């Protein structure tokens, strides 16, 4: 596996792959890789000739009181995992490589899809995501890019700017990878104590209850949201950031589940903010 650390490195690597007529799949990550990330790598491996992963903790998507400095960084272990799923190259730049002195250009998706859910809770977050993903797609000359359903709002935002800016890449959304307990896999799970990890099971449990109620005929959005809220409220270590359901992928408001619907939650367990979701198929 090639390790690429500069913009010139990745440009040359991508150009060489394209010259050989190969398709390129890109999996952007912030490292601290887990089975969820590796699921994305495998999906890319199945679909593309070349798989490029990025490991870059992107400073522009963190707010002033968020965990940028504390975010787990374990590049050596990440590389071992990438090699285990036959990734061809990893792009691991310094922030100064991506945002050199004088940098002043950002991609801002300024629409309703960025003003709710995580967008409402984390101002500026999606500007940082859209900017870095645009740069990574361009640098890797990606034909396909792969993201997880756990970040379903992010996938909608990325698909929006890819279409709006006529970027020639296909965006793939891969289902959520879960631990045996049901907990959605996340790099932030490493912050949780054993007791907090047990408490965090309330996220998947509450969504499962809503999904069961939906399967049994409950289609009112408010009722489904309340099922989730009521279950989370039973866990003393949990505090709710949001529990919301929207049409998916449009993220338009609904009162009734009469089309595919994203039921998304963000919950703090202690000091750690976790997200999870389920898509209800009408």
Catalytic residues: 37
Helical pair 125-140 and 7-19, crossing angle rounded to 10 deg: 50
CA distance 142 to 139: 8
SS3 29: strand
At residue 51, φ and ψ (nearest 5 deg) are: -115, 120
Long-range Cβ contact pairs of 250-259 (< 8 A, separation 24 or more): 250/113, 250/156, 251/112, 251/113, 251/116, 251/117, 251/153, 251/156, 252/112, 254/221, 255/220, 255/221, 255/222, 256/219, 256/220, 256/221, 257/214, 257/219, 257/220, 257/221, 257/224, 257/282, 258/219, 258/282
10-46 in b/e burial notation, b at 16+ Cβ within 10 A? beebbeebeeeeeebbbbbbbbbbbebbbbbbbbbbe
Angle at 76 between CA 71 and CA 82, to 5 degrees: 95
Helix boundaries (H) for the chain = 7-19, 35-47, 75-84, 95-98, 118-121, 125-140, 152-164, 194-199, 201-215, 221-233
Closest CA to 171 of 162, 180, 179: 162
């Amino acid at each position: 596996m090639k390790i690429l650390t500069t913009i010139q490195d990745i440009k040359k690597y991508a150009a060489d792959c394209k010259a050989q007529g190969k398709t390129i799949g890109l999996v952007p990550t912030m490292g601290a890789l887990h089975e969820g990330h590796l699921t994305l790598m495998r999906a890319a491996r199945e679909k593309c000739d070349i798989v490029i992963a990025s490991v870059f903790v992107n400073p522009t998507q963190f707010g002033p009181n968020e965990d940028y400095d504390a975010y787990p960084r374990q590049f050596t272990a990440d590389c071992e995992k990438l090699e285990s799923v036959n990734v061809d190259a990893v792009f691991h730049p310094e922030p100064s490589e991506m945002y050199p002195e004088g940098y002043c250009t950002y991609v801002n998706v300024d629409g309703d899809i960025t003003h709710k859910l995580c967008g409402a809770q984390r101002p500026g977050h999606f500007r940082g995501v859209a900017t870095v993903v645009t740069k990574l797609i361009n640098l890797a000359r990606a034909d396909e890019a792969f993201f997880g359903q756990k970040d379903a709002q992010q996938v909608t935002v990325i698909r929006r700017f890819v279409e709006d800016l006529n970027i020639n890449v296909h965006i793939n959304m891969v289902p959520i990878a879960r631990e045996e307990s049901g907990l959605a896999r996340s790099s932030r799970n490493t912050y949780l104590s054993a007791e907090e990890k047990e408490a965090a099971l309330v996220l998947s449990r509450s969504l499962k209850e809503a999904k069961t109620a939906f399967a049994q005929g409950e289609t009112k959005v408010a009722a489904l949201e309340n099922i989730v809220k009521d279950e989370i409220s039973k866990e003393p270590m949990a505090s709710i950031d949001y529990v919301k359901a929207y049409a998916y992928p449009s993220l338009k408001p609904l009162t009734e589940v009469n089309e595919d619907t994203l039921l998304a939650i963000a919950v703090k367990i202690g000091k750690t903010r976790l997200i999870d979701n389920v898509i209800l198929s009408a």
